[in-house]
Chain A
Amino acid sequence: MINLEIPKKFKPLATQANQVATEIFRPISRKYDDAEHTYPKELDMLASLMEGLEEGSDMGGAGAAGVRRDADGEAPEGNRNGSNLSTVLGIVELCWGDVGLLLSMPRQGLGNSAIASVAGEEQLERYGGKWAAMAITEPEAGSDSAAIRTTAKLDGDEYVLNGEKIFVTSGDRADLIVVWASLDPSKGRAAIKSFIVERDNPGLKLDRLEHKLGIRASDTANFTLQDCRVPKEALLGNPEIDTKQGFGGAMQTFDNTRPLVAAMAVGVARAALERTRDLLAEAGVEIDYAVPALNQPAAVSRFLEMEADWEAARLLTMQAAWMADNSKPNSLQASMAKAKAGRTCVDVTLGCVELCGAAGYGEDELLEKWARDSKILDIFEGTQQIQLLIVARQLLGKSSAELR
């Protein structure tokens, strides 16, 4: 039975997340955009509060918690609205508040997603409750994550990691860093594994924190790993180099996290649309949904165009999450959602600045900040171009060797 509304049972969660966004994120949004690299201490209490909320429900929480498929892999009976969808809805609300602050939420990092998605029981026990960042990108390997040069060599009961990692979100603040490294660079993708490194490991050296266009509340760290020793048990997933499975294992996390990043974009874009609607109304321009767009002021026409794109992005995001809840393969839809939401968010936030003129461009409003924050959402967790590649390969039935 087709129904694309927010399910009733998740409305309290969305309301709660919206309250957090309104009461906690928005008031400090400008402050931590200005004070880059200063830890938003207000988030500590919030994180505990939210974890408390999550424990008491099966809603999966409102943050970037991990996404786990049912272990038996069987599709549940009938239609299911579960933690993937609720997480997406929560993220939309929180990022309507401030995406930089959401990315700074303790214990809600992408590393936590990876751990929650692929860790074994022992690892879950050992690392649960800690804040985990994700370190994939290197100076010479961005989208081409199979080209990473960081190595992991087994030495007795330990792996020894060597290499350089950049763009590690929350890298300075987290307790753990999930590091991607190759067991054997000659064996390509299949040899790439992820390792959990404690932040205070003496082999992990913080090089610097980046100064950025947007999401300035979130710290972005660069590290050097120099003979960084981790216990054998720190390897996430299967230690064997299975060339048949290839890269699939490592990339699996992304199918689950792409809708979450898409949700971030949907939330930021909504913030800009809503504020612009209000400012236009103050200027005497109201949006009429019955009169054709071209018969209304140009500003309304542009607004409707952006809102229509946003609606498509939002529904694609919800669909991708819903498919995950129902154990349907959603790699195609997850990438579609990420591509559409990423580019729409940039277009919408920049368009809103234009519609609001100097009021939108100046720092009195948050519109200019959202227009800076938005750009990263079309880049991290797979750039626009990478998403288009994934979508194209799926639609055309091509391998990554054929369509490079």
Chain B
Amino acid sequence: MNENGNGTSVMERSQGVVLRSLGWLAGTELLDRVGLRKAVERVVFQGTKGGFRTATVAGRAFKATQKLGKPARQAAGKPRSLFDVTPDEEQQMFQEAVRDFAEAKVRPAAQAADAERETPAELLAQTSELGVNMLGIPEELGGVMTEQAATTSALVGEALAHGDMGIAYAALAPGAVATAIGRWGSAEQEATYLPAFAGEDAPAAALALLEPRPLFDPLSLETKARRDGSDWVLDGVKSLVARATECELFLVAADAEGVGPALFVVEPGGEGLSVRDEPAMGLRPAATGRLLLEGVRLPGEALLGEGRREDYVDCVQRARIAWSSLAVGAAQAVLDYVIPYVNERTAFGEPISNRQAVAFGVSDIGIESSGMRLAVYRAASRADQGKDFHREAALARKLCAAKGMEIGSEGVQLLGGHGFVKEHPVERWYRDLRAAGVMEGALLV
């Protein structure tokens, strides 16, 4: 079975053969002569669309090294009384470290990572060393933050995505799993998985919510988890999972029988769990893939935490803040790039920025990206203070999805034909920024 529900087809089995012969086949005039080209093209398309799936391979063995009486949790911050747009000292420290790193290491690597659909391992390791994936791990389990750090996470996401949004996705995806376990996991789950995320050589991991269909709603999932005795059996497809083939741990969202939408801890290597490559318009450094679950059997304790609906909704909204924060960083990157360009580019004897039609485009990028940033900060800061933040997260997402896309488009437009070619990064930001309105789950603040 593949994810479309078809039985194993001749096409699937013969994929390798088809591929090997593609080059030869396409070049032959034979097809045209016998009028078969259309049919063959269709078959080849279906074949590649369906497959090159590989079974997942078991990663490291996660083992609880300590016993917690009850789940360890980061405390909510104290309610703040004054309006303030300035990050605190600790946040500034993170922000500056990540900003410098993004400028020095991430941006220079971005174009190649996009082309090769791979973020260099060294870059991922260096990002991890900055501690950015430990922000949601409680102190008892090796974390660095005593209090909830949604705002810090948003600042980090923004700063890293200023370097590159796709690399930011690749680098921050494991942190989402750690944060989810640290926020909603049971004592046993925390003790089993979190120490690995807090240590050196943190595992590649992914929080998989999204499913590949129009009008996807994370609250009504097609991935199902049915009970079988004390076990869970999962069926479904998850989309645009960062570094899917390399993950050593997944958190998979499924509609659980008698529970509703919830997260499950899924270790790779099990029967029925496979991945296949899923290249997309953007976020290419994250080597996105599809996760296919076909009768994946999990023990009863694989349900994350208590499977409460409010935890799941919380997760959905925190992910929206996270993606919005990435959009803010990428939008700022567009602004910072187009300013010198339009000032230096001349047409009709003067810089094109002397024209209002061009200059106002820059103004709008500045205005809307500033608004996006404040909306994200507000949602994140409310989350840290233990206030209800779902409205604010939804508004931040709506804003960042719409304006992020506009900014991506305007960035290319301002460079004209030069914006359309890969010599400049604006076409990449155009592709990446569209993701802010598409992605669900995957990252967390």
Contacts and interface: CB of A to CB of B under 8 A. Distances in A.
Nearest to B151: A2
Given A290-B390, A305-B402, A4 B83 contact: yes
DSSP majority for the A interface? helix
A3 B364 contact: no
A365 B371 CA distance: 31
Contacts of B9: none
Interface string A356-398: 0000000000000000000000000000010111011101111
A285 interface: no
Give the size category of B's interface with A: 35 or more
B339 A395 contact: yes
Contacts of A322: 83-85
Contact of A289 (B351, B364, B390, B399): B390
Contact of B375 (A311, A396, A402): A311
A337 to B, nearest CB: 9
A392 B362 contact: yes
Given A290-B317, A295-B217, A308 B395 contact: yes
A32 B391 CA distance: 36
B442 to A, nearest CB: 15
B398 A308 contact: yes
Given A290-B394, A392-B359, A4 B366 contact: no
Interface string B331-350: 00001000100110000000
Most buried by A among B81, B342, B367, B377: B367
A341 B85 CA distance: 19
Interface stretch (B86-94, B109-117, B158-166, B271-279): B86-94
A199 B389 CA distance: 51
Nearest to B78: A1
Interface stretch (A5-13, A182-190, A208-216, A234-242): A5-13
A339 interface: yes
B364 A388 contact: yes
A4 B375 CA distance: 9
Interface residues of A, number: 50
A397 B362 CA distance: 12
A319 B399 contact: no
B353 interface: yes
Contacts of B428: none
Interface string B405-445: 00000000000000000000000000000000000100000
B308 interface: no
Interface stretch (B64-72, B223-231, B378-386): B378-386
B360 A79 contact: no
B362 A396 contact: yes
Contacts of B85: 2, 4, 319, 322
A312 B375 contact: yes
Contacts of B46: none
Contact of A388 (B363, B381, B395, B440): B363
Interface of B: 80-88, 91, 151, 215-219, 313, 316-317, 335, 339, 342-343, 351, 353-354, 356, 359-360, 362-364, 366-368, 370-372, 374-375, 377-378, 380-382, 385, 387, 390-396, 398-399, 402, 440
Question: What 9 pairs across the A-B complex have the smallest Cβ distances?
Answer: A312-B371, A315-B374, A392-B359, A3-B80, A289-B394, A308-B398, A4-B378, A308-B399, A391-B363
19 contacts: A1-B80, A1-B87, A2-B91, A4-B84, A7-B83, A8-B81, A81-B82, A85-B83, A304-B398, A308-B375, A308-B396, A308-B399, A311-B395, A316-B370, A385-B356, A388-B360, A396-B339, A396-B362, A402-B351
